[in-house]
Amino acid sequence: MDNKSDQLGMKNTFVTISSAGPNRDPSKGTREQPLWDEHAAFIDQLVAEGFILMGGPLVDEGGSMLIVNADSENEVREKLKNDPWMKHGVLKLESVKRWQIFIDVRK
């Protein structure tokens, strides 16, 4: 094993990409979308739990990208399906990819 996280039993890093869902209003900004307050509270809770490491909107597309810390792709999908924006079609989860970080200038 040459992957430190595997050796230490740490979680994996995943990148998620979501697109604008059918109920996203393209005439409004991110914070003006339906259920913004509920979505923001949900995301804040996942940040507090250490699940979401980074994230934000894809400005020109109405979607989003998250960097998350999880055991498996299934865990990522299970957690994100409870996002009010996913439940109500403001966002649609497109992909969940396991990511091995080689470069991080913050370290």
- What pLDDT, in 10s, does the model give residues 22-63? 999 999 999 999 999 999 999 999 999 999 999 999 988 899
Portion of the chain with pLDDT greater than 70, in percent = 92
Would you state the pLDDT for residue 8?
45
- Answer for the pair 70, 14: CB distance below 8 angstroms, yes or no: yes
Say whether pTM exceeds 0.85: yes
Q: How far apart are CA 56 and CA 29, in angstroms?
A: 13
Average pLDDT rounded to a whole number, residues 9-22:
92
Would you state the pLDDT for residue 15?
98
Structure tokens at 14: 């995943």
Would you state the pLDDT for residue 106?
84
Would you state the pLDDT for residue 81?
97
Structure tokens at 46: 């996942």
Whether pLDDT at 7 is above 80:
no
Residue 9 Ramachandran class (φ > 0 left, ψ -120 to 50 alpha, else beta): left
The residue type found at 48 is A
- Answer for the pair 18, 91: CB distance below 8 angstroms, yes or no: yes
Portion of the chain with pLDDT greater than 90, in percent = 85
Instruction: Give all strands (DSSP E) within the chain, no chain letters.
Output: 12-20, 52-58, 63-70, 91-99
Closest CA to 58 of 39, 30, 89: 30
Reduce the DSSP state of residue 38 to 3 states and report it. Answer: helix
